[in-house]
Chains A and B, each alone.
Chain A
Amino acid sequence: MAAFEKLVRQYDRQVFRIANHIVQNREDAEDVVQDAFLKAYEKLDQFQGNSKFYTWLVRIAVNEALMRLRKRRTGRMVSIDEDVETEEGSMPRDLADWSPDPEAMYGQSEMADILRKTIQGLPPGFRVVFALRDVDGLSTEETAETLGLSIPAVKSRLLRARLQLRERLSRYFKKRDGSVSRGKQDGAK
């Protein structure tokens, strides 16, 4: 039990983050963290050791999170493939350049709100690929294994997630004439 507790402490933050990215609701994410670790504990003897423990755990957490989404949507099936057939993001439309230092345009909490709101607009199957690959730093192969997707599917979703996020963030970070910042507390630069 002490060894398992160590694993909980090691990976709880990442599991909480991934759960939030999928369910977008803190209470549900808390439940997902609990259920995922419990399930991992119950199935510990099935862990083969030929993949990283973290990818195995995240796979359990992703499945728990998708089930939670399904419950919230009163039984409608939710899969990792939902809404991924959109054409949005396949070609950039907004090609205005960004301010040289977009992070200086907003305060810390305002920036976090913008980033959350922006990524929440993506389908769950894009959010989770982006979160695992670009935020958690998993490789394409590990992401594919974790999500049960092919490598080309991961690559295609990642590209479209990146482009959609870029496009959506452009409305906040675009260069403005005179470079007067809107949200920054301590004045314009």
Chain B
Amino acid sequence: MTCTEFLAQLDEMLDQDAALPLRADLEEHLRECEHCEITLNTTRKTIQIYRSHELYELPDDLRERLHKAILAKCRKC
């Protein structure tokens, strides 16, 4: 398996969707290729970091203001 072929299946590795024979091939490539191992691990970390940080928090005061505005508009329609 080449690095390009591995990369095309990266999502299957990340999402653990790969069927068994393919997974075995991917894991074999990983054992021999440090670059692809780094790519897999750092991409996995990228997803984890984005998942664990709320980038656009909705503060309580804004939330209440939005609720009032939404419900007022809905009552008019």
Contact = CB atoms under 8 A, between A and B. Distances in A.
Interface of A: 1, 4-5, 8-9, 12-13, 16-17, 20-21, 26, 29-30, 33-34, 37-38, 41-42, 91-92, 95-98, 102-103, 111-112, 115-116, 119, 130, 134-135, 155, 158-159, 162-163, 165-166, 169-170, 173
Contact of B11 (A119, A159, A170): A159
B35 interface: yes
Chain A interface secondary structure, helix, strand, loop or mixed? helix
Contacts of A170: 42
A20 B50 contact: no
Contact of B67 (A12, A159, A165): A12
Contacts of A33: 66, 70
Contacts of A111: 49, 53
Contacts of B63: 12-13
Given A37-B70, A95-B39, A97-B38, A134 B47 contact: yes
Given A21-B56, A34-B69, A112-B55, A162 B75 contact: no
A162 B14 contact: yes
Contacts of B38: 95-97
Nearest to B76: A38
Contact of B50 (A30, A102, A115, A159): A115
Interface residues of B, number: 34
Interface of B: 4, 7, 10-11, 14, 35, 38-39, 41-43, 45-47, 49-56, 58, 62-63, 66-67, 69-71, 73-75, 77
Given A111-B49, A166-B39, A173-B45, 15 more contacts: A1-B74, A4-B71, A5-B71, A13-B58, A16-B56, A30-B62, A33-B66, A38-B74, A97-B38, A102-B45, A115-B50, A115-B55, A116-B55, A162-B43, A163-B39
